[in-house]
Amino acid sequence: MAFPHRPDAPELPDFSMLKRLARDQLIYLLEQLPGKKDLFIEADLMSPLDRIANVSILKQHEVDKLYKVENKPALSSSEQLCFLVRPRIKNMRYIASLVNADKLAGRTRKYKVIFSPQKFYACEMVLEEEGIYGDVSCDEWAFSLLPLDVDLLSMELPEFFRDYFLEGDQRWINTVAQALHLLSTLYGPFPNCYGIGRCAKMAYELWRNLEEEEDGETKGRRPEIGHIFLLDRDVDFVTALCSQVVYEGLVDDTFRIKCGSVDFGPEVTSSDKSLKVLLNAEDKVFNEIRNEHFSNVFGFLSQKARNLQAQYDRRRGMDIKQMKNFVSQELKGLKQEHRLLSLHIGACESIMKKKTKQDFQELIKTEHALLEGFNIRESTSYIEEHIDRQVSPIESLRLMCLLSITENGLIPKDYRSLKTQYLQSYGPEHLLTFSNLRRAGLLTEQAPGDTLTAVESKVSKLVTDKAAGKITDAFSSLAKRSNFRAISKKLNLIPRVDGEYDLKVPRDMAYVFSGAYVPLSCRIIEQVLERRSWQGLDEVVRLLNCSDFAFTDMTKEDKASSESLRLILVVFLGGCTFSEISALRFLGREKGYRFIFLTTAVTNSARLMEAMSEVKA
Amino acid sequence: MMNRTKGDEEEYWNSSKFKAFTFDDEDDELSQLKESKRAVNSLRDFVDDDDDDDLERVSWSGEPVGSISWSIKETAGNSSSSHEGREQLKSRNSFSSYAQLPKPTSTYSLSSFFRGRTRPGSFQSLSDALSDTPAKSYAPELGRPKGEYRDYSNDWSPSDTVRRLRKGKVCSLERFRSLQDKLQLLEEAVSMHDGNVITAVLIFLKRTLSKEILFRELEVRQVALRHLIHFLKEIGDQKLLLDLFRFLDRTEELALSHYREHLNIQDPDKRKEFLKTCIGLPFSAEDSAHIQDHYTLLERQIIIEANDRHLESAGQTEIFRKHPRKASILNMPLVTTLFYSCFYHYTEAEGTFSSPVNLKKTFKIPDKQYVLTALAARAKLRAWNDVDALFTTKNWLGYTKKRAPIGFHRVVEILHKNNAPVQTCRDLKDRQQLLAYRSKVDKGSAEEEKIDALLSSSQIRWKN
């Protein structure tokens, strides 16, 4: 249970400094607007803000009332309004409507907009167009790294995925580069860099530019983290689309972990209250089961329950003095453990109920068949039935995408028929969702041969060879073949197991998917770290359509300690799942590394599908 | 792998590899879990819930009291409620409850550092504004809001300009007047990879170039083009977006973009009229049919809705009296509409718009889908005769036969969910189904006995 780290495992750097930095910067910005003020906060920023500050800190800096930014007129009577928002057009329009309403009423107030993590020119343009540029002052709160756990940093930017992988907008690349720059300023340079994916490469180049411009800042510092690995989400969509069966992933799939905490409803707390619970390494019970396959969790919890019982029972034979000791020293810890234990037991029960109801076993069976590539017909009819019965639209979409990516696209006949049935079951407007999924390469139709699209060939005729090369490149990034089968074979993603795969004693990273599949993303990372390069992986890289986007950069760094060389920062551009985190934690324990995760957001299959969905639930 | 035989598969799924764990039954694991729960619960008497110090206190809405999210809901939800009590609650600080988090005890705050620095104000010196060396602090440029930088030079090269833009500095682009300069600026922005800067340059280009020239240049610059398209979508400049797609000859995107607008139209009649304008658009052949169906569906729904609302309020129709409608049928998916029609209009003649058969024909609903939906609707009404009839077909000699185009276990599931009588299954002469049904009912119940009696009956000629 709960594999301990090897005794030689390196210590993790202390990331709590990032929280202090963000808080101090926010305070500084609030002080830029002296006096009493009302603060309007964007909903998506509330949870991250909660993790680094609280109401009394805001009050100390003369924040009077707090409001949520929403599409309603503000009732604030304050003379100063401060807006804390993501750089989004709709926020600008909201602020403009407030300011313009004030102007119309002949009212003058002070307005300040704080953009987090940065300001976009498009936002300023809207302020200008709405005639309020100059009436509001703008600032940036570069809060882009939130430590959710000792080894997990999140940028809390779920929109990164859609903006880049669907729309091709590179607006967040600079944010990523800035975040990496901050990390190297705080924790020293990274002697070994690896990456795969178009976005990874761009982020890396921009980051390098930043470092060069501010030359010298990280020079002379001892590196604390020996390796950094950047990876685009579209290098491996498959893993992110699978149902999760390690505890933390399952909790995320079932209850949605938001910003490191989860809302357990009455069905879990077995009371009439909901409870917001932080899930991280500090929760001793959770920490021991988070990376476990769900089937192991029960055994662990019941063992824990028995131990707890025994510890309470000890009080029976105690005399007064012993009892006093017990109460003052142990009771509090036991109570805490008791509470956590009953919460997680409640969560397990609720998960079991939900999963049994939705025929989870059948679902997993279909997923495994898709991953292994047999019985495609049967899986297709399973998906069809899912759609016909109007089972969750997101689930149906996810299964279709999994089928498409593992099969290099759907056969045209299946594509048409599944799409028609989907539109009939969930609404015709999902036509738009299908168009999005096709553009992102998540759900495609098998095309006869690799013919150029009409636009592509038209464009190619228009331009010189060099530019045409660039264009074809740009196109292929949008609609590329996934080659999953070939990659799976090359990297041995489906373990050949004779006899039973013992989930209690995992032998490889496949345990996070019940022994059926090694997450592709994690396998790539493992292979590259082993080789310290992409050498020998050319074929895989080509199959991943990343021939131009796989890179290594090693600096001769003799200052790096052997301990730091076993610390690896993995950067997921477009989101990572808890299953991937668990798999890499496992790999780390096996090899004596420790991984640190930096992700644009924690994601799962449902979030990916929702991001592609045109119809908001 | 693709050619595994059926036998192989069975062996595969029956092999011990995946037996470690199932979600199916109340097996050992769940009972183990229940046991643990009992054990933990039995400790409740000892561990009473009086102290909240190690777990946070949560308000009725589930937010930790004192957290920012909680506090905002308070501002929104009250205008005159007791202030005192709230203040008291607010003074409980969410950090104290998130006991795991480090307390905010930074001994020196960075902000105190910055306070010492003079705020760049109206009399900002030129050298100050031009100095490009960033503050060597952990948080570069914190001391000075970026918006207050001014660009005092006109001589920035395109690459210097985009670099300044990337840093968020205000930077005039007006001096890039020749097309060549503008394009060079754009290429610099693209080669730097920062999408925000690319968009900034595009905003300038859009303002200072005619759209034909802009479109022409972007057609061969795909990265920039994607940024412009996304920008136009975000600011809602639908007209220019459609012009762009037209120019690029991206007819399908043009059509989809136009179609997307219907989502913003709430009024059903207006929406219907808008959908009508979409029908002739250059969609793919396949999508054209979907658009046509969308229009027809909404048209039908509007008629059905008006009719049924009238029937319901008149109070003369039994089905509406017994089962009042929970929601309007407008804008619902086709399958939901079919369910609705099977529920309220099952017996109607094919000629009426609201009859299930009419829907089936109009939208070419497959048999399987039809039976599944009708079964669900009729079972919900406990109209067992209808259920029975769904599976009855006459062959060419006039003999009746039982037939189900969907999997038996699905039929059983739906019947069981609606507490269908055992008789319905017997009438289907379906032994397998009955066996499946037996596994769903409680052990030792009257149903089980009845099923057992039926299964052992020699009177019935089972079809399987």
The residue written with tokens 């109801």 in the block is A357
The DSSP result for A193-205, as a single string, is EEEESHHHHHHHH
pLDDT at B441: 65
| Closest CA–CA distance from residue B68 to any residue of chain A (Å) | 6
- Listed residue (B169, B93, B97, B166) closest to B129, CA to CA: B169
For residues A404 and A484, give the distance between their C-alpha atoms in angstroms, rounded to a whole number: 10
Contact (CB<8Å) A119/B168 = yes
pLDDT band, very low/low/confident/very high, at A405 (cuts 50, 70, 90): very high
Test B194 with A171 for CB contact under 8 angstroms. yes
Domains, chain A, ranges and CATH?
15-143 (3.40.50.2060), 148-242+520-612 (3.40.50.1910), 247-356 (3.90.830.10), 360-448 (1.25.40.850)
Intervals of chain B under pLDDT 70: 1-30, 32, 39, 42-66, 70, 73-154, 393-409, 420-464
Q: A50-108 pLDDT, tens per residue?
A: 999 988 999 999 999 999 998 777 788 899 999 999 999 999 999 999 999 999 999 99
Yes or no, beta carbons of A459 and B140 under 8 Å apart: no
The answer to whether B122 contacts chain A (CB < 8 Å) is no
Q: How many CB pairs under 8 A join A and B?
A: 365
Chain A positions touching B110 (Cβ under 8 A) are 20-21, 24-25, 28
> Which pair of structure tokens corresponds to residue A224?
């604390």
Is there a contact between B341 and B353 (Cβ–Cβ < 8 Å)? no
For B19, the closest chain A residue by CA position comes to: A500
Chain A partners within 8 Å of B33 (Cβ):
298, 301-302, 345, 348-349, 352
The DSSP 8-state label assigned to residue B16 in this structure reads: G
Q: How far is B350 from chain A (nearest CA, A)?
A: 20
Instruction: Give dist(CA A119, CA A70) in Å, integer.
Output: 20
Chain centroid to Cα A519, Å, comes to 15
Residue A325: count other Cβ atoms within 10 Å of its Cβ.
Answer: 12
Shortest distance between the Cα of A114 and any Cα of chain B, in A, equals 10
Buried b or exposed e, range B408-429, using 16+ CB within 10 angstroms:
bebbbbbbbebebebebbbbbb
Q: What is the pLDDT of residue A323?
A: 85
Asked if A118's CB is within 8 angstroms of B194's CB, the reply is: no
The confidence score (pLDDT) of residue B184 equals 96
* Contact with chain A for residue B245, Cβ under 8 A: no
Predicted TM-score (pTM) of the model is 0.83
Please determine, for residue A588, whether its predicted confidence score (pLDDT) is greater than 80: yes
Question: How close B273 comes to chain A (CA, Å)?
Answer: 16
Which DSSP letter does residue B416 get? Answer: H
| B189 in Cβ contact with B223 (< 8 Å) | no
Compute the C-alpha angle A196/A197/A200, nearest 5°: 85
Establish whether the linkage from the previous residue to A34 is cis, with ω within 30° of 0. no
Q: Which residues of B touch A47 (CB under 8 A)?
A: 69
Torsion angle in degrees (nearest 10) through CA of A288, A290, A292, A293 = 150
Helices (H), B101-194: 110-115, 126-130, 158-166, 179-192
Helix, strand or coil, per DSSP, at residue B458: coil
ipTM, 2 dp: 0.92
**Residues 6 or more apart whose Cβ sits within 8 Å of residue A85:** A40, A41, A42, A45, A69, A91, A95, A113, A114, A115, A116
Tell me which H or E stretch contains A7.
Answer: none
More confidently predicted of A9 and A402: A402
Which residues of chain A lie closer than 8 angstroms to B39, CB-CB?
302, 305-306, 308-309
Among A561, A568, A557, A556, residue whose Cα is nearest residue A529: A568
Residue B431 distance to chain A (closest CA, Å): 23
User: What is the distance of C-alpha A240 from the center of its chain?
Assistant: 10
Which of the residues A141, A431, A444 would you substitute to probe the B interface, choosing the one with the greatest number of B C-beta atoms within 10 Å?
Answer: A431
Contact list, B30 vs chain A (CB under 8 Å): 298, 352
* Burial state string for A51-86 with b = 16 or more CB within 10 A and e = fewer than 16: bbbbbbbbeebbbbbbbbbeeeebebebebbbbbbb
> For residue A315, what is the DSSP state?
G
For A309, the closest of B39, B68, B332 (CB atoms) is: B39
- Average pLDDT over every residue of A544-568: 86
Q: Please, what's the b/e burial string for B309-348 (b: 16 or more CB within 10 A of its CB; e: otherwise)?
A: eebbeeeeeebbeeeebeeebebbbbbbbbbbbbbbbbee
Q: Which of B9, B13, B18 to mutate to test the interface with A (most CBs of A within 10 A)?
A: B18
- The verdict on a CB contact (< 8 Å) between B58 and A374 is no
DSSP code, position A12: P
Which residue pairs from A584-590 have beta carbons closer than 8 angstroms and sit at least 24 positions apart in sequence?
Answer: A584/A509, A584/A522, A584/A525, A585/A151, A585/A291, A586/A3, A586/A291, A586/A506, A586/A509, A586/A511, A586/A512, A587/A509, A587/A522, A587/A525, A587/A526, A588/A5, A588/A9, A589/A3, A589/A4, A589/A5, A589/A6, A589/A9
| Distance between CA atoms of residues B96 and B116, nearest Å | 31
- CA dist., res. A365 & res. A371, Å (int): 10
Amino acid at B201: V
Bridge-based pairing state of the strands A550-554 and A192-196: antiparallel
User: How far B457 CA lies from chain A's nearest CA (Å)?
Assistant: 32
* Partner-chain contact B222 A474, CB within 8 Å: yes
Structure tokens at B245: 């797609």
B222 reaches A (C-beta below 8 A): yes
User: How far is Cα of residue B240 from the mean position of the Cα atoms in its chain?
Assistant: 29
Q: Are A173 and B194 in contact (CB under 8 A)?
A: yes
Q: How far is A281 from chain B (nearest CA, A)?
A: 9
pLDDT value for B36: 74
* pLDDT tens per residue across span A407-465: 999 999 999 999 999 999 999 999 999 999 999 999 999 876 544 444 444 444 444 44
Q: How far is B39 from chain A (nearest CA, A)?
A: 6
Q: Which of A19, A122, A168 faces B203 most closely, judged by CB atoms? A: A122
Amino acid at B414: I
- pLDDT on residue B75: 64
CB A24 within 8 A of CB B110: yes
Which of B262, B264, B265, B336 minimizes the C-alpha distance to B300?
B336
Name which of A54, A185, A429 is nearest B67 (Cβ-Cβ). Answer: A54
Residues of B in contact with A614 (CB under 8 A): 260, 263
β partners of residue A192:
A227, A554
CB proximity B294 to A under 8 Å: yes
One-letter identity of residue B180: Q
Strand A275-278 relative to strand A261-264: parallel, antiparallel, unpaired? antiparallel
Task: Decide if B399 touches A, using CB distance below 8 A.
Answer: no
Whole-angstrom Cα distance, residue B321 to residue B311?
Answer: 10
Q: Which residue has the tokens 């049928």?
A: B329
What are the residues facing A572 on neighbouring strands? Answer: A231, A599
Query: How far apart are alpha carbons A593 and A584 in whole angstroms?
Result: 9
**Which positions in chain A touch B76 (Cβ < 8 Å)?**
67-68
Mark residue A536 as left, alpha or beta (left: phi above 0; alpha: psi -120 to 50; beta: remaining): left
Calpha distance A231→A235 (Å, rounded): 7
pLDDT at residue A197, rounded to an integer: 96
Which pairs with CB-CB distance under 8 Å and at least 24 residues apart come from B247-252?
B247/B211, B247/B212, B247/B215, B247/B216, B247/B219, B248/A455, B248/B215, B248/B219, B249/A454, B249/A455, B249/A458, B250/A455, B251/B282, B252/A435, B252/B282, B252/B283, B252/B284, B252/B287
Smallest Cα–Cα separation from B424: which of B402, B398, B446, B399? Answer: B402
CA–centroid distance for A311 within its chain = 39
The Cα–Cα gap between B84 and A4 comes to 49
Residue A256 burial (CB count, 10 A): 12
Residues with Cβ within 8 Å of residue A339, at least 6 apart in sequence: B47, B54, B55
Question: Which residue in the set A16, A170, A428 is minimally distant from B102, CB to CB?
Answer: A16
Burial string for B177-196 (b: 16+ CB within 10 Å, else e) reads eeeeebbbbbbbbbebbbbb
Interface residue B103 vs chain A (CB under 8 A): no
Which of these, B414, B416, B412, lies nearest to B342 by C-alpha position?
A: B414
Round to whole Å and give the CA distance between B387 and B430. Answer: 14
Tokens matching residue B404 = 């189900």
| For range A388-405, the mean pLDDT | 94
> How buried is A396 (Cβ within 10 angstroms: 0-12 exposed, 13-18 middle, 19+ buried)?
buried
Among B71, B253, B264, most A C-beta atoms within 10 A, so best to mutate, is B71
Residues of chain B found within 8 Å of residue A413, distances taken between Cβ atoms: none
Return the residue of B nearest to A371 by Cα.
Answer: B1
What span, in angstroms and rounded, lies between the C-alpha atoms of B367 and A369?
A: 27
- Dist CA A460 CA A524 (whole Å): 34
Residue B138 is predicted with a pLDDT of 43
According to DSSP, residue B400 is labeled E
Q: Calculate mean pLDDT across residues A340-356.
A: 92
Question: What's the CA gap between A292 and A585, in Å, rounded?
Answer: 11
**3-class state of residue A62 by DSSP:** coil
In A, minimum Cα distance to B253 occurs at: A435
Q: Which residues contact B445 (CB under 8 A, 6 or more apart)?
A: none
Report chain B residues whose CB lies below 8 A from the CB of A301. 33, 36
